Amino acid sequence: MNSNIHIFDNTAETARAIAGLIQEKSNEKVKQSLPFNIAVSGGNTPKTLFEILVNEFSEKIPWHIIRLFWVDERCVPPTHAESNFGMTYESLLKHVPISETNIFRIQGEASPEIEVSRYAGLIEKELPVVNGLPQFDLILLGMGDDGHTASIFPDNLQLLNSERIVSTSIHPQSSQKRITLTGPTLNNGENVIFFITGKTKAHVLKQILNKTGDFQKFPASYIHSFSTEAAFYLDKEAASKF
C-alpha cells in the first residue's frame, strides 16, 4: 500500500496519529530555533484533532513556536456558528497557550475581495518563500463528500492553478462565499495531510487513491506536497472501498 496512506480504526485514533505527527514536526523546529507555521481546515473533522491536542498533547506541543493560519474560511463573522476560526477557537485556541500574535485568522466578516488581498499579503510577509511561493510547514486538509478540499470545489478547478495565493470561492450548494488558499500554495506545503473519516467519503476517496472513475473531477485529486505525495490519514470507514 502507498506509504502515504495511514488507516486507523476510528476518528479518534486517526486524530491521535496526526497529533503525534504535529508533535514530531513542531519539535523538530524547536531544535532549529524556527517557528512552526501550520494552516488548518474547518468543517467538523478537525474538532476531534483539536480536542485530542488539548486533552492528550497539551504538554507535548511547543505552543510557543506554533503560528496558526487557516486554509479557508466562510465569509461570516468569527462568532458565527459556521466560522472555521470560531470552531478552532472553541475546540483548541481557548485551551492552549498560543500567543494571539501567532494567530492569523482569515477575517470572514470583511469584504471578500479586500480580505483576499489582506490575507495574501500577510501570508507573503509571514512565511518563508520556497519554490517561489509561501511555504507552510504543515497544511491540514479535509475532503468533502464531493471531493472538494479547502474551499476549492469541483465546479471551480481553475483555483488549483490560480496565480493568486488566496481567492474567493462560492459553495456550489449553499452559495456561501468563502476565502481559500489556492492550489499552488497548498501544493507547496512541506507536509500536506488529509484527515478524512466516515463512510460518506469512501466512494470518492477510492477513485482519488486509485486514480479511477471520475477522480479528475475532484479537487482533492490534485493536491500533493512540495516534496512528496500528500499523506492520507483515514479511518476504516473512509478507507472501506480502497
Nearest distance in Å: CB 4, ligand 6PG: 18
Size of the site for ligand 6PG (CB under 6 A): 15
Asked if residue 154 binds ligand 6PG (CB under 6 A), the reply is no
Asked if residue 14 binds ligand 6PG (CB under 6 A), the reply is no
Q: Residue 34: helix, strand or coil by DSSP?
A: coil
Q: By C-beta, is 72 or 235 nearer to ligand 6PG?
A: 72
What cell numbers appear for 190 in the block? 512541506
Nearest distance in Å: CB 178, ligand 6PG: 7
The residue behind cell 490519514 is 233
Instruction: Determine contact, residues 150/180, Cβ cutoff 8 Å.
Output: yes
Choices 56-64, 125-133, 138-146, 224-232 (CB under 6 A): range interacting with ligand 6PG: 138-146
Nearest distance in Å: CB 204, ligand 6PG: 11
Instruction: Determine contact, residues 239/14, Cβ cutoff 8 Å.
Output: no
What cell numbers appear for 104 in the block? 492569523
Instruction: Determine contact, residues 143/213, Cβ cutoff 8 Å.
Output: no
Q: By C-beta, is 153 or 215 nearer to ligand 6PG?
A: 153
Distance from C-alpha of 6 to C-alpha of 18, rounded to nearest angstrom: 10
The residue ranges that bind ligand 6PG (CB under 6 A) are 41-45, 71-72, 84, 142-144, 148-151
